[in-house]
Chains A and B, each alone.
Chain A
Amino acid sequence: MIEISNLSYSIAGQQILDGINTHLQRNQITALIGPNGAGKSTLLGAIGRQVDINTGQIKIDGEDLQNITPQDQARLMAIVAQHLHVGSRIRVVDLLGFGRWPHAKGRLGPQDHFIIQSALAQFDLTDLENRFLDELSGGQRQRAFLAMAHAQDADWLLLDEPLNNLDLKHGRSLMAHLRQMVSEKSKSVVVVLHDLNFTLAWADQIVAMRDGQVVFAGPTTTVATSEALSDLYQTPIELLNLNGHFFAQYHR
């Protein structure tokens, strides 16, 4: 479990995170939702140690994040950021090889190659494995980074808007894949999502944020109500029940 207490973060006088207290459960898909500028990415970055927090504490399985070495952390959690600007020309297969870095330190064994190949297949990248990253489309590149995080084989997977750039097929297969990792490999997933329907369809837990604060959190089935979501986004949102699945209608 990841416990977050009194977490605050400000940059250039702007309060991005304002006293966050929440926890993320193991073995679940937790969706971070909320309007733009709510601080979702920053929270994810703080957990993944991409941003240095000002005050507060993050504990993972009872251990303060500050006391975990970078190597241990890399085996504990994999993070895929939202903006994947990479200047260097790296082949897809080499990128996945770097996903094995926390385990293999650059000396890839047969086990590592097996994991890399299965990650390539899993994310529909086998044909692209020898392409350079700068020769891929946005969605393909996104998949390459997701595959790298998969190859990292960490307990926790932190994904910042992974559905960006993905088409219907790959978006759905990504979510199904995350579900499979949770149920079959006991992984835990924290994912920033903007698409409410994906959230309703796949997330076990929701942490809803606005203005750097947690507005509500809990199991999707109990907290995701029409009123709560409408209030969160300041937009009328209707929840429709279609054959037992909930859908959000907010388009018009």
Chain B
Amino acid sequence: MPIAYFATVIGLLALGTGSLFLGAQDLSLPQVWQDPGALQLIAISRLPRTLAALLTGASMAVAGVIMQLLVRNRFVEPGTTGTNEAAMIGLLAVTLLAPGLPLFVQMLVAAAAALLGTLGFLQLTRRLPPQQPLLVPLVGLIYAGVLYSVATFIAYQTDLIQYIGIWMSGEFSGILAGRYELLWLAGILSILVYFTADQFTLAGLGRGLAVSLGLRYGQVLSLGVATVSMVSALVIVTVGTLPFVGLVVPNVVSRMMGDNLRQSLPVVAGLGGGLVLACDMLGRVIRHPYEIPAGTIFGVLGAIVFLTLLLGRRSHV
């Protein structure tokens, strides 16, 4: 266990440092001492960008693992349960009906919509036979697809279609100091989850067992759904959502160290943050000095990892 923590910390430090010195504008360590402009570049752009990637990845991975425990299914994440799509509908509504609202209020509306969307998904899954685990993500994908079509339709009718594109592809090139701070809230929520980690692990053992051990299951479920919705909304309004983060990261960590969140959550958060940051850095390098969105890169790499996990699973069992 300590090895996993150690590796996570070292990896994050290395990536974080690397990220500060990587980008369209060349920057090297000696410059930081000599050139005040360099320091400004770090303070205004590179550091916020690095932090934004870390916070996004960490909180999305945490949201994914909560979703998986609450639904008791390994193949769900906020992107496949209608949470993100519902948040987008909420954002569209707020953009159309009350465009002048501050970003924080917009985020709250999106979170409320995401909450409704997630509850709708939970209602749907309740009717599915438990012995068919793959039905859950399939139904989730269809449900999310329906919500996405609604969002697209509204956006198309109102000339807001480019907004959907922005919300759907997580991207950090526009991140500057003053434009990502909401993400700290997502980070704080993830830390709060850590304090209730045992409750979520218990809920993941199933309602019957959790209740018989005295867990207030309804409370934990509400707390989890609220957290997932908030995190999704926060990520969408600041950087846009990234596919697969909430799916791949918890699965990889579960394979390595199991599902006892008290032990695994720091690694889930660390790996999520690290991978998203790595994808963002990769995006800065591949077509230097142009950039590829981190969401695109994660989409490609995440799909490969996820397929490997799926296929590897068969030979394992």
Taking beta carbons and an 8 Å cutoff, which residues of A are in contact with B? 45, 48-50, 69-75, 77-79, 81, 85-91, 94-95, 98-99, 101-102, 105-106, 132, 152
Contacts and interface: CB of A to CB of B under 8 A. Distances in A.
B259 interface: yes
Contact of B216 (A70, A81, A99): A70
B102 to A, nearest CB: 38
B254 interface: yes
A87 B72 contact: yes
B204 interface: yes
B74 A87 contact: yes
Contacts of B74: 87
B202 interface: yes
A49 B207 CA distance: 11
Interface string B33-74: 000000000000000000000000000000000000100111
10 contacts: A49-B212, A70-B211, A70-B214, A81-B208, A87-B74, A90-B201, A94-B258, A99-B213, A105-B198, A132-B258
Closest 4 CB pairs of A and B: A74-B214, A88-B259, A106-B198, A89-B258
Nearest to A48: B212
Given A48-B212, A73-B214, A81-B209, A88 B204 contact: yes
B260 A94 contact: yes
B205 interface: yes
A87 B73 contact: yes
Contacts of A79: 208, 212
A195 B168 CA distance: 58
Given A50-B212, A86-B206, 16 more contacts: A69-B214, A71-B214, A73-B214, A75-B214, A85-B206, A86-B209, A87-B204, A88-B72, A88-B259, A90-B260, A94-B260, A98-B201, A98-B202, A99-B213, A101-B214, A106-B198
A74 B259 CA distance: 23
A91 B260 contact: yes
A112 B215 CA distance: 18
B289 interface: no
A74 B208 CA distance: 12
A78 B212 contact: yes
Contacts of A49: 211-212
A73 B205 CA distance: 18
Contacts of A87: 72-74, 133, 204
A132 B257 CA distance: 9
A209 B131 CA distance: 28
Nearest to A99: B213
A45 B208 CA distance: 9
Contacts of A152: 213
A70 B215 contact: yes
A143 to B, nearest CB: 16
Task: Name the residue in A69, A73, A74, A98 with the highest tally of chain B Cβ atoms < 10 Å from its Cβ.
Answer: A98
Interface in B173-211: 198, 201-202, 204-206, 208-209, 211
A102 B73 contact: no
A91 B258 contact: yes
A105 B204 CA distance: 16
Nearest to B259: A88
Contacts of A99: 213
Nearest to B130: A85
Interface string B203-235: 011101101111110000000000000000000
Nearest to A154: B212
A98 B205 contact: yes
Nearest to A152: B213
A99 to B, nearest CB: 7
Contacts of B212: 48-50, 74, 77-79
B205 A88 contact: yes
Contacts of A132: 258
Contact of B69 (A70, A72, A88): A88
Task: Name the residue in A72, A74, A99, A152 with the highest tally of chain B Cβ atoms < 10 Å from its Cβ.
Answer: A74
B214 A89 contact: no
A215 B219 CA distance: 40
A79 B208 CA distance: 9
B213 A98 contact: yes
Nearest to A49: B211
A101 B205 contact: no
A86 B205 contact: yes
A183 B131 CA distance: 40
Interface in B252-298: 254, 258-260, 262
A90 B214 CA distance: 19
A4 B73 CA distance: 36
Contacts of B204: 87-88
